[in-house]
Amino acid sequence: MEVLQIILQQMGGQMFLTMTGGKAYRVNDYTLGVKFQSCQKANYVTIFLNSMDTYDMKFFQCSPTTLVDTEVCTFEALYFDQIQDTFTEVTGLNTSL
């Protein structure tokens, strides 16, 4: 659970969730999932701490009617200081004030 808290903190912690309207949850021990409503391009992201101690991010668009996840884009081997900018680049949502 500690890894997930670190990932969330590196995304901006509670301010990130407030700014994006997101809800964070555990996918597995090394993957944090965040669902958010206010973006047309993607409304779901997973952030995975890989074996190289960098992050992989996958963005999805989940249709509420069909409940089918469509992968929008993937980024691999991101450093911790790149994940907020990558999130903003894909979604257009700011992660902090």
**Which long-range contacts does 37-43 make (Cβ < 8 Å, 24+ apart)?**
38/93, 39/91, 39/92, 39/93, 41/72, 41/90, 41/91, 41/92, 42/72, 42/73, 42/90, 42/91
Q: The pTM is what?
A: 0.88
pLDDT in tens, 20-41: 899 999 999 889 999 987 777 8
pLDDT in tens, 47-81: 999 999 999 999 999 877 777 788 999 999 999 99
